[in-house]
Structures are given as structure tokens and as C-alpha cells.
Amino acid sequence: MKNKEKIDLIINNYLGKKGALIPLLQEIQTLEKYLSKDTMRYVSEKTGIAIARIYGVATFYTMFRLKPQGKHVIRVCKGTACHVSDANSILKAINSKLNLEDGEDTTKDGLFTVMEVACLGCCSLAPVIMINDNTYGKLTPELISNILKKYN
């Protein structure tokens, strides 16, 4: 496991503390970007928490990712202002450009992960997306292709 030492430190920090499972998994996810099966198994061994409980928590809360995240993360705003500015057509254009099928959020080459998020805080630019830390506003579906070309 790549981050074993760092994961050990995180686990040791929470050992014996009540209600520690969620924050512990959050910290590990921040480190690894997602929770792999191996990592969850390792947490179970080290903490004595049943693997079924760890899977249960990891699959129940939407904040946990069970699959690796792409190199670039595209956040598509689905807040009210963006929604009424047809954020759906932007999302469709992105998914179609990236060949993502229903239920898929990460491209096969691992380059992009697409997420739908609530308000990104720049409603006057609706519809808005963020790619990593860059914001793109007043979008139309036609603009998507050129924007995505900047990322590789």
C-alpha cells in the first residue's frame, strides 16, 4: 500500500476514540483521493472494526468515493441559478465529449472525473463549471470542447 505509513499515523490518531470511523475514513480519503478495498480491509485489521461496518459507512455517505478519481475534476454546478440557466445541457455536452455513459463519472483513461455540485458561489456567471481550481462561466454547450482541450 502506497501511503501505509501515513495511514498508520491517521489510524493511530483515532484509535480508541468514539465516533472515529467517519473522520478517520475522511482523512484517509483526503490522502488517497478514494477508499480502495485494500485500504478498507487494512483499516478493519488495524482498528478491529468489522469490514462490513466500514463498507456500510463508505457506501452510505455520498462524500466517500470507492473508485479512483480522475487527474482533473470537473465540478458542474447544479445550483438554482445554474439549473435555470440550463446546466443540464452543459453536463450533457461534457458527458458526451468524454464518452461517459449513464452512471459513469470517470473517463476510462483516468483523465477526468465529473461531479455535480451545489452552488459554486458565482451565480452571476451561470451556468458555471470548475475544472480543478479554474472557473468557467456563462457557458454554452458549444464552448465545452475547447475548454476540455486545455486539459491533458
Specify the residue, 29 or 85, whose C-beta has the smaller distance to ligand FES. Answer: 85
Amino acid at 89: S
Amino acid at 64: F
**Closest by alpha carbon to 137, among 127, 147, 145?**
127
Among residues 10, 43, 126, 148, the one that binds ligand FES under rule CB under 6 A: 126
Q: Which of 22, 31, 73, 119 binds ligand FES (CB under 6 A)?
A: 119
Contact present, 6 and 31 (Cβ < 8 Å): yes
In the complex, minimum distance from the CB of residue 123 to ligand FES, in angstroms, rounded to a whole number? 3
| Near ligand FES by CB under 6 A: residue from 81, 111, 115, 147 | 81
Selected binder of ligand FES within 31, 123, 143, 147 (CB under 6 A): 123
Region near ligand FES per CB under 6 A, out of 4-12, 21-29, 72-80, 93-101: 72-80
What DSSP letter does each residue of 116-147 carry, written as one string?
EES--S-GGG-S-EEETTEEE-S--GGGHHHH
Which one, 24 or 82, has the nearer CB to ligand FES? 82
- Can you say whether residue 16 is alpha, beta or left, with left for phi > 0 and alpha for psi between -120 and 50 degrees? left
> Which of 3, 12, 80, 140 is in the footprint of ligand FES by CB under 6 A?
80
Q: Minimal CA–CA distance to 142: which of 96, 101, 90, 70? A: 90
Q: Contact residues for ligand FES (CB under 6 A)?
A: 77, 79-82, 119-123, 126, 128
